[in-house]
Amino acid sequence: MTTHRILLIEDDPAIGQSLMDGFKHHGFESHLCTTGSSGLDFAKKQSPHLIVLDIRLPDGSGFDFCRQMRQMGIKQPIIILTAQQDEMDKVLGLEMGADDYVTKPFSLRELVSRVRAQLRRTYGDYASADSDSVLVSDLTLEQATGQVRRGDQVINLTPTEFRLLNYLARHRGQALSRAQIVEAVWGYAPDLESEKSVNVHIRRLREKVELKPEEPAIILTVPGIGYRLVG
């Protein structure tokens, strides 16, 4: 059985140690970095299975470090820790490439649940392990590698973005509600905030796969319902 390794980037050593103890209790290995730069270096060299990233760090914004990780080709799931009332923090974190967020204060149970959902969908039961490819317009979704190609060009998607596009592709032509998408792609019961986050991920996905993101021709909005992928 694989023991998943979690990188925790948190500047408060007491909080960090408490979370590490909690992760250990639930069967995870974890490593604590107290600065964004050290976390970035660890992620690049050690390839943890998942990254938990606080956005308030002593050497810079967690948003910037999240963006740098994605630019460096680090595709592992990233969960950001945000302040309770900062709606823009959540949106900006998703815009920078985060897969999910947990708002402070939070319970260990909630964080572990979000961690497990991301790990299960990236590496476990819901990972794309089929050997076939799915064609969407001029895109090829390679199930075995989790890559998307347009001709010879590889389009770099995060695991969540790939699962989102794959889910829409598997149900092409159908109008899917945001609640359906949350349950299928994130793996937990939808609420208003998680449904709002779908909009951000769709926007990021369109920026990567649409030739004209401002005039989407692949992922269409269905007013009053959600989204559908062209039939």
Domains defined for the chain, CATH in brackets: 5-123 (3.40.50.2300), 133-229 (1.10.10.10)
Name the pTM for this structure: 0.79
What pLDDT shows up at residue 120? 87
Average pLDDT of the segment spanning 176-196: 89
Contact 159, 122 (CB under 8 A): yes
Does pLDDT of 184 surpass 80?
Answer: yes
pLDDT digits (tens, 9 = 90+) for 108-128: 999 999 999 999 888 865 454
User: Which residues, in sequence order, are CB contacts of 151 under 8 Å at separation 6+?
Assistant: 138
- Whose tokens are 């347009």? That residue is 150
Rounded CA-CA distance 106/180 in Å is: 25
If we measure between CA atoms, which residue out of 28, 36, 27, 76 comes closest to residue 55?
36
Q: Which residue has the higher pLDDT, 82 or 2?
A: 82
What pLDDT shows up at residue 146? 81
